[in-house]
Chain A
Amino acid sequence: MLGFLLRRIALAIPTLLAVMTAVFVLARVVPGDPAQVILGDQATAEALAALRQRLGVDRPLPAQYVDFLSGILRGDLGTSMVTGKSVWAEVLAVLPYTIELTLAAILLGILFGVPLGVLAATRHNRLPDALTRVLSLAGLSFPAFVSAVLLLLVFAIELRWFPVISNPRSGDLLERLQHLALPALNLGLIMTAYITRVTRSSVLGVLGEDYIRTARAKGIGRRAVLWRHALRNALIPVATVIGLYLGTMIGNSVLTEIVFNRPGLGKLILGALNQRDYTLLQGLMVIFAGFIVLANVATDLAYGLIDPRVRAR
């Protein structure tokens, strides 16, 4: 297992390097001059030169690239051009809220998605299967901000069950949960749809395998075969999907946070965009991309834990 772990981590290093290079290239593809974009057409030549120097964009590209990479290695992502605080400080201030939201959504997704997927697979081509298929397809089709707006309209504005603005800093646990409920439900519904579909097709595939037939022939009950023998193998792709879905989830949480006016990485990105805070935007991109690469490694490791054959490869 240790060898597998080390091999997988070693493989991630060139990917990380390439990802960081991509961020650098993207951030420098800016048409024209970032200083001009920030200060506008009326800016004086001195102001532009000063800002260029502050941003470090007056130096040759290779030097900027080396600075950028060595900064990341030292854990320094620069400082926000608007607030003057370090990018890490900005991120860490809101990160707990995004993590809280994401974890709640994943939990909801597993809680509802796995049983629904198993139900659909065991009632293959019957009514529960058809219903699950349609509902999960509808769940996948909802752009996160559309479902968020509809949930907000129904449950917060019409029924008034939940607050319109989700404030995670509010008082006691019950109140916090009430503020978390709608955003988490919004992300959780999409997650449930994904997990239901993957669980369904995965369980269907496994149920057709020879070893399941053998287990049934040995007289093991249907239930025991399903939960003890089939599900263990069927859950491997499900674990992968949760890992792969993290990227989409980040995008969806951005939209969800905007609709529910909830602090988090999404609102941070939007603020950076509106205020043309290039350093913050670049830092956020590095963090997101790095996070996705690490999530992929973690997914592979989870894979190795569940399935010994993966480790051997």
Chain B
Amino acid sequence: MTAEAVAIETVRRRRSAFRFAAAPLTWIGAALIALIIVAALLAPWIAPYDPLEQSIADRLMPPSAEHLLGTDSFGRDVLSRLIHAARISLAVGVLSIALAMVAGCAIGITAGWIGGWFDSLVMGALDVLMSFPSLLLGLMVVAMLGPSLEHLVLAIAITELAPFARVARAPTLALKERDFIEAGRALGLSELRIIVVHVVPNLLGDVVVVASLWLATAIRTEASLSFIGLGVKPPTPTWGGMLREGFETILDAPWLSVAPSLAILATVLALNMIGDGLRDAVDPRLRRD
């Protein structure tokens, strides 16, 4: 990319930031996510009951004034479990994306910076990683390591490493040829300093967009693995785990399946709305003029 092209790109991005404000879907998504995050943060104060408290006398009660979303097969309050589960789902999603982002960017920048056969080797390895279906890869990793919160985060991070590496590598290749990098070298800056101070800020925008797009996938993968039974161990509530439990009694207590389904759907949809808006805002080809 020439200096002019980069300058034009920067102007485009500034202009597109205003379009972001004009995209209603993005704002609906942002509001929805804000609501879910607040609920997760305030869970101990706003949940009407203890999410782990069992009451066999009250098991499988349909929604009522006392239990707004009913109770599950252990007599636990579904609404309270749903609110507490938001904490785990969001935490696993954010942690795994953060891990994938840091590791992926480090791999991508290193590959792009060193170039040559090393670059080809790393990119080839990432292609291999991408040829595994992400759910199956996550499933294999958790199955081999054993289900736990840490392994879940690790497994999801591994499945989502490659997109970050790719997004970080491409601009690195272009940036390392630029004059200001050469100027940095002439000034005697170390390679690491040049990368951290001059390369990383230039690709942060793209990386954040990828993160927002893949956060939805991370939360979906967490829910899917929990649904299969490879998630956080019970009785800790997670949306996927709740749906799994609800599915076992779907004929007697359908409300147990509906509540976590809608929670997962709302979160993923809201994140996709935000990611979509961000992508439209930074992708000049998708701009609506």
Contacts and interface: CB of A to CB of B under 8 A. Distances in A.
Interface of A: 14-15, 18-19, 22, 26-27, 29-31, 124-125, 133-134, 137-138, 140-146, 149-150, 152-153, 157, 164, 201, 205, 247-248, 250-252, 254-255, 258-259, 269-270, 273-274, 281, 285, 288-289, 292-293, 296
Contact of B128 (A15, A143, A146): A15
Contacts of B250: 149, 152-153, 157
B264 interface: yes
B32 to A, nearest CB: 11
Contacts of B264: 143, 146
Contact of A250 (B25, B136, B257, B276): B136
B197 to A, nearest CB: 35
A144 B261 CA distance: 11
Most chain-B CB neighbours within 10 Å: which of A19, A31, A140, A149?
Answer: A149
17 contacts: A15-B124, A15-B127, A22-B129, A27-B140, A138-B269, A140-B272, A141-B216, A143-B227, A144-B224, A145-B243, A157-B251, A247-B132, A251-B136, A255-B227, A269-B139, A273-B139, A288-B132
A251 B140 contact: no
B239 to A, nearest CB: 9
A226 to B, nearest CB: 20
A125 to B, nearest CB: 6
A288 B136 contact: yes
A157 B133 contact: no
Given A146-B243, A258-B228, A292 B144 contact: no
B135 interface: yes
Nearest to A293: B131
Residue among A143, A247, A252 facing the most chain B CB atoms (10 A cut-off): A143
Contacts of A269: 136, 139
Nearest to B273: A137
A149 B228 contact: no
Given A15-B128, A146-B243, 11 more contacts: A29-B144, A125-B288, A134-B25, A143-B264, A145-B224, A247-B133, A250-B136, A269-B136, A281-B143, A288-B132, A292-B131
Contacts of B129: 22
Contact of A18 (B125, B216, B272): B125
A296 B125 CA distance: 16
Contacts of A164: 251
Interface residues of B, number: 45
Contact of A153 (B124, B143, B254, B276): B254
A66 to B, nearest CB: 20
A137 B269 contact: yes
Contact of B141 (A15, A26, A292): A26
Contacts of B224: 143-145, 251, 255
Nearest to A197: B276
Given A31-B146, A141-B216, A141-B268, A149 B243 contact: yes
A26 B140 contact: yes
A292 B257 CA distance: 33
Contacts of B261: 146, 149-150
Contacts of B276: 137
Nearest to B141: A26
Interface in B121-154: 124-125, 127-129, 131-136, 139-141, 143-146
B243 A142 contact: no
Given A142-B265, A143-B264, A281-B143, A149 B131 contact: no
A15 B243 CA distance: 38
